[in-house]
Structure 1
Amino acid sequence: LTLATGQEMNPDTLESHLVTVGYERVPQVEQPGQYARRGDIVDVFPPDATHSLYEAIRILFFDIEVDELKAFDPDSQRSTHTIRRVDIPPAREIVMTDKEREATADRLDIAMAEEIARHRRNGVHRDVIEKLQANGFRDLERIKEKMHFPSLDRLLPLIDEEVCTVADFVRVASPLLFLDEPLTFSRRLDAAHAGFIQRLTGLMEKGDTFSFSEGCQVAPPDVLRTIENERRFIALVDMPASGNGLPGAADMSLHAGAVNRYRNQPDKVAADVAHVLQDRGSALLFAGSDERAEQLSFFLLDRGAETAVVLPGVFPRGFVIDSLPLLVVGTENLYGVSRRKSRRKKRSQREVFYQDLVPGSFVVHEDYGIGCYEGTEPITTSDGTRDYLTIRYRDGVLRLPVDRVDLLSPYIPVGDTKPRLSYMGGAGWQRQKERARSSIKRLVTDIISLYAERESIKGHVYGADTVWQKEFEESFPYEETNDQLRVIAEIKSDMESEKVMDRLICGDVGFGKTEVCFRAMFKCVMEGKQAALLAPTTVLVRQHVRNLRERLGSFPVEVRELSRFIGREEQKTILKELANGHVDIVIATHRLLSKDVSFKDLGLLVIDEEQRFGVDHKEMIKALSPSVEVLTLTATPIPRTLHLSLAGMRDISLLEEGPEDRLPIRTAVIEYDEDLVIDAILRERARHGQVFYLFNNTHKIDQRAAKLAEKMPGIRFAVAHGKMTERQLESVIEDFLEGEYDVLVCTTIIESGVDMPRVNTLIVEDADRFGLAQLYQIRGRVGRSERQAYALITYRPDRVIGEAAEKRLAAIRDFTELGSGFQIALRDLEVRGAGNLLGAEQSGHLESIGYDLYTRMLEETVREAKGLEPPPQRVQTVVDLTVDAILS
């Protein structure tokens, strides 16, 4: 459907069309495939909106005419810009007109009667027949009621007389079809079809579907035959094989080589392009922008290379095929790695707070303390109608007008216990605030004292970066984020000063902490000193050793591993080489803290996940490094507000920016469906990935894994849980990391520090039993690479889910964007991070007065201790307007 301003269209007709093409009516659109109507305003969220110039569409009618079309942000519900014309595609693949629905219902009625009669003749059990009949009648009713339901896909043979393949669409839309690895494609097609038939057979045996559903898929040989008959395809293969699954195809071998890094050397570019053109070849260059493309075209024209094709698009790294010849020069080949553009502005924490405010939420009022928000109600006075927020306290109810909502902040719990509500009357709240303020003053005084003591110790002053340092950094195969570059600069500044570095780096797994510390260690070694990395588990040690050796390549740097997995004799050799300086870098578990370990000249100590070491270990670390540069890495989130409050008091660096190619995790929250789970595992296995299957019951986990393995022969399962010995657990995880298993059936023991980029599907059973922060953290274990990751969050169909659990599941479904650090799911983690950083006493005050108020007090105290002006005090200015005020 296409709409344009000024077009005649009855809103009722539009709504009827939206229902027909699969849109779901909701009070407020938040997800693709939804629409909302409020009188003459219709909001629509098309499924392709993310690929268009808008996110969602607001259609404003004047009678039966489209008066205005606006794009709007579904998060804030605010209009962003006006549009003149918009295409609204169907929300679902299967769309039926009323006539088609009637015909499908008739066909289903006939097919159901035929199949039930056949079952009776064949002696099929009565329960199966009754179930099949019940399912058929249910689907009939759904079709007649114009409903969209999951099993509608199984009725496809009744809806369309002929099921199409991709070749049927290619025939019309494109002159060529590129087929990537036809043999692999054929095998996957066979596996997918076999899995489909297996699942379908199981469903038919239970009476869940009809035999005609087999026609939903075209048999693999027919698909390949259709493609081959078209004779308009190009098959791409890495390794030549007999026919490559398509015996009629002609062979052509192409050997591609890498392209030079020109790095703003236009004369060299022109020379290489001219050389290819002289050999009657082709040259294609990607300039990255219209302006650069124009400049490069004129430059090549002046150099006699006018037939080269220069495009404004971005293609990172090019290639050269001498046999054609063809030269493709990528954007990074021409200009080097470009820095990331700034991202879209995120909503403020306060905006998110207002939107997420739901009845039952705990809030903190600056003057009255902790209360429970119970809802919003309009109250009419002589000045008009205004919305008032109702907040319950222990001794009464506060009604707060919407124009004073700035006095509220969210209460973020430190643990899982509910807070005690404050009294509106009395001095209890004021006393709590004063106790917190006094404790904060003591904390800040202690930190200043420690900071001054550390400043008095003079450390080694490192020189500027060497040539090797620059080569090592340039060999990094990925583009650094802006945060990485800033943190690397901060570390180098510390090392090149007299101050002994003691810096904490906080960032999620996969956000670049490891590369940052590798560069610091390399700089240390280039100065003739030794570096050590201390990690809490053997698995992490192994991962760091592997990654560092791969990064170092041919650089003459000796790296050794020191852990329980290294034999006694080899350990003795490593200790000897550490003492005489033959080992440059050692990566170890707490074995590094033993008394028999000594260094010739230790310059840098990196501690990974310090919070996972015990008190005794931390004391040993302090004794080991009074004048050694120390870099501590942690994945526990630290709130930006707290970080800013402590800036200059403690050296903290935040890595909040994820890699460029990281994708948000696609999350589905559904009733548990074994067929769907099996399908998800098989799909991940088909793309050579791995799966986390979370089953948080140690007594039944082995039986669960065995049952899953029985359903999926050929899929390799392993089990990991907290009751295993440390050696058993590390061995299983190590094997899983090495690709020995496809699925890890585990409890919440999933290693938080280990990076597993091949794990891109997560399945959670009984998700309603987990806390929101726990679910968020668990889901963060997948999606560590550029591949699309999936999370299947399931709950039992027969369980009645409470309101709180329902809210948690809705939140984990909705909060999928990368870096959604202000969403409620991560706020809980941030406060835990704040407690880890500040200690138990401060955690108590965080709990008693609320996180927002605590951080404001901390900022005021820090500024006062530094002799700076305190933050401006809140001035209450009231401008009373006799207008309605509604919180929408």
Structure 2
Amino acid sequence: MTHPAVRDLFHTLSRRQAFQELVAKLLRRETGPFSLAGLTPTAKALYLVLLWQATERPMLVVVDGNHRAETLGELTETFFDLLVSRTEAARPQILPAFEILPGQKLSPHSEITEQRAIGLWRLATGRVPITIAPAASALLRTHGAEYYRRLALELRTGEELPLDTIEAHLASIGYEKREPVEMVGEYSIRGGILDVFPAESARPLRVEFFGDEIESIRRFDVESQRSVVRVSEAQVLPLTEQPRSRQLFHACAGKIDFEGVASPGDPFPGWEFIAPLVEPREQSLAALVGDAVVVLDEPEQIRSAAERLWKRLDQQPEAAALAASNFFRWEEMEPLFAGRPQIAVRDLDLDAGAPHISSRPSMVFHGSMQVAVAEAKNLVEQGYRVAFFAASNGELERLADILREYSVPFQLGLSPNEAASPYLAERAYLAGPVASTYLVKGLVRRGTIFPESSIAFIGSEDLFDPSDLIARPGITKSQLSAFAADLADLKPGDYVVHVTHGVGRFLGIREIVQGEQKGDFMLLEYAGDAKLYVPLTRMDLVEKYRGGQAPPPLDKLGGTTWTARKSRIKAKMRDMADELLKLYAQRRMAEGFSFSRDANWQREFEDAFEFNPTKDQISAAKEIKRDMESPHPMDRLLCGDVGYGKTEVAMRAAFKALGDGKQVALLAPTTVLAFQHYETFRQRFAAFPVRIEMFSRFRSPKELKTALEDLLYGKIDIAIGTHRLLSKDVVFRDLG
């Protein structure tokens, strides 16, 4: 639970007069417009959560762009987790804008499509407290609430629902048929059993039918494919906000006279923006949120962002119909917000009479904890309460040690569903029960000072400068594409593969200016001197060509050769999968040697390890020994970075084999590595009656001859070497 003193720290800020007056007006169902000024981004997020907690009315927060939405969303989620103790309460969400525009003949990224589909469904069902939307997202036209409510698939035991109907619905909301089901968005059907992995679900579902009746619903484990828990009902959320069908794709292709469409009944790049011409969208985001409170974060910046968006849209006159069918203008959107409570929040308001809550950014310390602690002590002496924020338990423990070193007492604050580690609990206890300094677990990068309330928040990036070497949360797959690693190695003339258009030639990076916006694009050349500009934000669509030495033929934009080639490759992959299945079936049927269970010597050998084994080492060794004890041949790959303890796991497996009188061979790629393993094994096995020999060019011919004879007669237990071990003259007496 969040410490009561920490919770009181946040609620102290809700006692400001300007905030109390705003809450009273909203509870009286007044519509405003209202305003609140003087808030930094961190303060805005906190007061949004406090406002929702005081009124319990859903909120739609409109910001100028995706970056502001991500920053505000991250902070809002943090404060929501700390302040809202109800575990069943839905959490805040971001409704992102598309990263591309109509007319660019590209489809939005699948992650954005999925996030929007689930977000719109939540809005339609009233299951979200706070929704944050960039201006470009708020301006998108929508269908009515009932349209999005029907997208989710409800499954309950005892209900009758034809399996064919379920399959058609799953395909329409973006799910793909795969066997076996391993990832979100996949489903499979085997007789009367449906496996499906719903969005935002920790485990996939297994639904068993008796005729058309749902007999049982279970969640199952992906790795073992075994059912783990029975449930009475389940929900499959959509992955796309526009239900798919061959009829829709054909109609969309007809709207552009089938230009660049290989197969009219199949999806093609950009169909999502053409769909509103087929099924017009007459509603807006305002209609979905109902009587929600509308919060405009820096209204002037929102208006400017909307104007920039339409300036870019107007630069594509050939796509004017697409733009009008997909987006409202801001002047059209403002009247749609009328009749709902509106709050304009600003960092700075020139109107001296506007309601105001004073806040300012926290001091930045650039890693100097001595200065940070001195500043915290100075604030406490002035009557402030100071909260340090850390994103993880490890960072909290680090800060706890630092504050204890400087003799600063503190109280600990965690989210309601998390308990303190013994390490943190001990240090919080030693620090004392009463303190004006708090350690709070939460992702607050930049802090803020509230002078009127005598409260100071110090963020994690106020204390330590962010490092580019550390992965930050929230990065999407589109930013971590496989192509990014190859971008620096690409040079004009290299061949690349576009997931939709096939093999092309990379001509370089070009900067394109569209109104006030400019961006970098990859320029690709296709057959017939056709050119394709791919924004660097969509690098996930392109990767370097890795075929043979001969230059590949270029595909034709909009042609069918690439689609046909992919179909042939898929067929070959199915054949390969069949061969692998047969191979593994044969291995499964084959009889191997079943090693004995661990004896005292095995435990003694493992206890003699001079270091504490890691959790992964223990797990890997346990699984390998379990495989060795089974009657089937082991087929396992052990992966790990350099220095992560793979050799120790191998030595434990080797010792187990020796316990049943078997010999062990260790193959190394180089002579030097073989020698290193030889020395390591000798030291590790020194206390046990085990003979270890090395087979490599470091041994003289005479030594090798003697060793080969001893190996044949079983006098050598472990043979370590390079490919020399694969020679015909190397014969083992009983290799395990």
TM range (shorter): 0.3 to 0.5
TM-score (norm 1): 0.34
